[in-house]
Amino acid sequence: DVKVTQSSRYLVKRTGEKVFLECVQDMDHENMFWYRQDPGLGLRLIYFSYDVKMKEKGDIPEGYSVSREKKERFSLILESASTNQTSMYLCASSLGLALLQYFGPGTRLTVL
């Protein structure tokens, strides 16, 4: 079974803090994705990566950056957290040209 894990289920941070969200997959998938999910807005793509050290902006990259130094690990970074970044963050991965994305359990981030 494909397993995608995220470093924290719940996280509370203060405005202005630097926040790291980590995602690890164990199936040697090339593609990894970060989404945020908000009521009424659905899942929106923040960043994705096709390979190590490769990254592409999604639909809402502002205020976020990413890092992929190893194939199995994809990190989302909030350089200076703001209250409007309070959300559920979901990581996903997929294999090469395969369409199916497997999701992690999510991180519920609250920025106070």
Partner 1 sequence: EDQVTQSPEALRLQEGESSSLNCSYTVSGLRGLFWYRQDPGKGPEFLFTLYSAGEEKEKERLKATLTKKESFLHITAPKPEDSATYLCAVQAGTSGSRLTFGEGTQLTVNP
Residues in touch with partner 1 (CB under 8 A) = 4, 31, 33, 40-45, 48, 50, 58, 90, 92, 94, 97, 99-106, 108
Q: Which of 36, 85 has the CB closer to partner 1?
A: 36
Least distance to partner 1 from the beta carbon of 99, Å?
Answer: 4
Instruction: Return the structure tokens found at 50.
Output: 């096709």
Least distance to partner 1 from the beta carbon of 112, Å?
Answer: 20
Least distance to partner 1 from the beta carbon of 8, Å?
Answer: 13
Least distance to partner 1 from the beta carbon of 65, Å?
Answer: 19
Q: Which of 45, 77 has the CB closer to partner 1?
A: 45
Show Cβ contacts of residue 10 under 8 Å, excluding neighbours closer than 6 positions: 107, 108, 110
Q: Which of 41, 112 has the CB closer to partner 1?
A: 41
| SS3 per-residue string spanning the chain | CCCEEECCCEEEECCCCCEEEEEEECCCCCEEEEEEEECCCEEEEEEEECCCCCCEECCCCCCEEEEEEECCEEEEEECCCCHHHCEEEEEEEECCCCCCCEECCCEEEEEC
Q: Which of 68, 104 has the CB closer to partner 1?
A: 104
